[in-house]
Amino acid sequence: MHVRPLTLVALAFLLLVCLGSVKAVAPAASATDNLNGVYLVSGSEGWAVGNAGTIQIYNGGSWSLVASGTTSDLFGVSFGPPGNANSGAGFAVGGSGGNATALYWGGASWFTINTGLSGSGAQRLSSVFENSPTDAWAVDAVSGAFWHWSGSAGLGGGWVNVGTAAAGLNSVFMTSTTDGWAVGAGGIIYRYQGGSWSEYTSVGQTLNSVFMINPNEGWAVGVGGTMFHYSSGLWSGPMSPAPTNQNLNSVFMLSSSEGWAVGAGGTVLHYLNGVWSLVQNQIGATQDLNSVFFASSTGWAVGNVGTFVTLTSGPPTPSGLPSATLTSVYLSSSSDGWITGCSTGGCGSGAGEPVLVHWNGATFTRGTGASVTADLFSVFMLNPSEGWAVGGIGTTSVILHYTGGTWTQVPSPAIGGVLRSVFMIDSVNGWAVGDNGAILRYSGGSWGVVSSPTTDTLRSVFMLDASDGWAAGNSGTILRYQTGLWNTYPSPTTSQLNSLYLADATHGWAVGASGTILYYDGSIWLSANGPVSTNLNSVTQVSSQQAWAVGDAGTILQWTGIAWYTYTPTPPLSGNPNLNGIFALSNDFGFIVGAPTAPGGQATVLQFPTGSPIPETTYPQLLLLVALGSALITVKTRRRLRPSVQTN
């Protein structure tokens, strides 16, 4: 998300944080009652209602209290269907002490319209939807009653109870005067058709809010991060995996392709390109957010202790690190490099946006130009102006080329799978490997398939020069390229190999599943002793006595010229994310990249060895920076040309 300063005032303090497309503010310090509902008539007019009869009005610049004429808690407010507001006519509903209440705004003031609201069905109105000033619906959170308003406020209009649901109702939404939906406790979903309300289905999990984009599509959200989608007659869900386990209290859809949901603990979710993403939780004082509403591109969410949060619609300005799993990193220099990852929808999902992140020596920005949705597993930069990235989704491979400041998809031969690794010798000669033993060569301005001696998936390729190179992958497969051909090479393991690195023609490393480490001595590959059994995903060597490997569960290994040791950064890496890629320019600078430390969090990037912090460390939600410190100081031991190896 785009990152810009955020201001939140709640109770009597000011808190500055940095948050993408979200800005929290508050009205006067005396307005600390919980806010439960919000409605925007336009970008310059809005209403919020809350406990103890609180009503606030927005004038395009600030929120201020107005008289409501009631001390009852208010939970819902409506000035008409979204996008078709009636500025001079609105409803607010609520209730306290077992007595429901309703208010009407006639253009000058709020006044009570409780005519007809009586009996056990009128205890606490939780939601209201205005079709017009003479036609509105409200539902009761305690009794489950459906209340219909007809007539003109102050001129004989009134409420009529037209039915009761099996449990309390929390939200009502009308798509027209003859069609609508209501949701509530226990996951009940009711529909209004043919002049009456009837149960449509029950999903088993309490739903707090429903929003219909049109009669054929809508969303409902509820407890524990529950999200259900309605399409062409069927409510499907809950969505799994959910982007949060916090209770969701309100949902608002701008279109079929964009929406917002808010909930407990300051949770804010953004729906874009088919994916719900956690924008931010823990806003300010972690107040619950209870309602969200948009007018055009600007929205507001309201919550406990008078909290207001502004939201901006549309695609986020590509900047910062995404909430995605990073897979590969390549640095042209300490001030220029690229990182790739799985799509923002999650590895293998085929949803969301491609992850291409540029490092400029101070900050991270999202790459532009590539519109394909795919996981990207490897990146290789020839220089700051040209590079390649490969990946794919399912049985479709993807190749991206970076020139002219943008990433562009280029034709990729069909291989029945994805590409896992790319290595460029120069701007006109390169290699890529992937599923089913696929080997591609870049020559003459295009990529083509070359003969492969294996059908095992190849996960890493490394070229010493145009005539000598290596590839490795599943089942311990090792290939060598010489005399213009790829041939199998003896391997001491059947474990999956994930990464290769050759320091020169006689010294190399390979790492893989279950802590597998292999060493190349110039003639054969040997099994080396390793200190872990977790999967190792990437390896690099920076000198004859310094090498690094990273892997699952936050594993970082260091080769000191004598043996491999587990390395623990200071401070320790929280969350133990899988680490998937490492790149070192020298003993002085490098990056490790991997998955977020927690679901919905930012991707992991570790800088080493760090003598000075990256400026973005002032924004911890954008960059998890862990100093490896003195770990890369050259160990003063006698040079070892071979590691300790296993000969069995």
Which CATH number belongs to the domain containing residue 401 in this structure? 2.130.10.10
Count Cβ atoms within 10 A of the Cβ of residue 98 and give its class: 0-12 exposed, 13-18 middle, 19 or more buried: exposed
pLDDT of residue 375: 95
User: For residue 353, how far is the Cα from the chain centroid?
Assistant: 10
pLDDT of residue 295: 93
List, in order, residues 6 or more apart from 479 with CB less than 8 Å away.
Answer: 452, 453, 454, 458, 470, 471, 472, 486, 487, 488, 489
Is 358 a member of any domain? yes
CB atoms inside a 10 Å sphere around CB 455: 13
Phi/psi of residue 610, nearest 5 degrees: 65, 115
pLDDT of residue 61: 84
Whether 166 and 97 share a structural domain = yes
List, in order, residues 6 or more apart from 225 with CB less than 8 Å away.
Answer: 242, 243, 244, 245, 246, 247, 248, 263
**Number of domains composing the chain:** 2
pLDDT of residue 637: 28
List, in order, residues 6 or more apart from 273 with CB less than 8 Å away.
Answer: 257, 344, 345, 351, 352, 353, 373
Last residue of a domain, one of 310, 344, 371: 310
Question: String of b and e for 390-423 (b: at least 16 CB within 10 Å)?
Answer: bbbbeebbbbbbbeeeebebeebeebebbbbbbb
Whether 21 and 144 share a structural domain = yes
CA dihedral 26, 31, 36, 41 (to 10 degrees): -60
Is 320 a member of any domain? no
pLDDT of residue 32: 75
Give me the amino acid identity at 244. Answer: T
Is 127 a member of any domain? yes
Three-state secondary structure readout of 386-425? EEEEEEEECCEEEEEEEECCEEEEECCCCCCCCEEEEEEE
Last residue of a domain, one of 262, 286, 310: 310
Whether 460 and 501 share a structural domain = yes
Tell me which residue of 547, 505, 546, 511 sits closest to 532, measured CA to CA.
511
For 483-494, the DSSP string reads TTEEEE---S--
Is 315 a member of any domain? no
Whether 368 and 470 share a structural domain = yes
Is 295 a member of any domain? yes
List, in order, residues 6 or more apart from 156 with CB less than 8 Å away.
Answer: none
From the first residue on, what is the mean pLDDT of each consecutive set of 10 residues in the chain (648 residues)?
30 28 34 89 94 93 91 97 93 97 95 95 98 97 98 90 98 98 98 97 97 97 97 91 89 95 90 82 61 92 88 63 89 93 89 86 74 91 97 96 92 97 97 98 97 98 97 98 97 98 96 98 96 97 91 94 88 85 85 86 75 30 35 30 41
Whether 72 and 146 share a structural domain = yes
Whether 298 and 417 share a structural domain = no
pLDDT of residue 578: 95
List, in order, residues 6 or more apart from 460 with CB less than 8 Å away.
Answer: 420, 421, 433, 471, 472, 473, 497, 498, 499, 500, 510
Strands (E) in 450-603, as ranges, are: 458-465, 468-473, 478-482, 485-488, 497-504, 507-512, 517-520, 525-528, 536-543, 546-551, 556-559, 564-566, 579-584, 590-594
List, in order, residues 6 or more apart from 562 with CB less than 8 Å away.
Answer: 635, 637, 640, 643, 644
Whether 399 and 257 share a structural domain = no
* Pairing label, strands 196-202, 207-214: unpaired
Is 321 a member of any domain? no
Q: How far is CA 267 from CA 243, 287, 345, in A?
A: 10, 9, 19
Is 318 a member of any domain? no
Give the chain's count of helices (H) and strands (E). 0, 58
SS3 assignment, position 165: coil
Whether 335 and 217 share a structural domain = no
pLDDT of residue 31: 59
pLDDT of residue 576: 87
Last residue of a domain, one of 277, 310, 343: 310
pLDDT of residue 312: 82
Task: Residue count of the chain, please give it.
Answer: 648
Is 317 a member of any domain? no
Q: Is the peptide bond before 599 cis (omega within 30 degrees of 0)?
A: no
pLDDT of residue 239: 85
d(CA 120, CA 99) in angstroms, rounded, equals 9
The token pair at 334 is 């300490």
The residue segments making up the domain with residue 276 are: 3-310
The token pair at 20 is 């993408």
Give me the amino acid identity at 19. Answer: L
d(CA 190, CA 274) in angstroms, rounded, equals 26
Question: String of b and e for 158-196 (b: at least 16 CB within 10 Å)?
Answer: ebebebebebbbbbbbbbeeeebbbbbbebbbbebeeee
Whether 342 and 267 share a structural domain = no
Asked whether 431 and 380 are in contact (CB, 8 A), the reply is no
Whether 473 and 353 share a structural domain = yes
d(CA 604, CA 391) in angstroms, rounded, equals 20
Whether 215 and 338 share a structural domain = no
Q: Is the peptide bond before 238 cis (omega within 30 degrees of 0)?
A: yes
Whether 475 and 367 share a structural domain = yes
Q: Locate tokens 């000969």: which residue?
A: 647
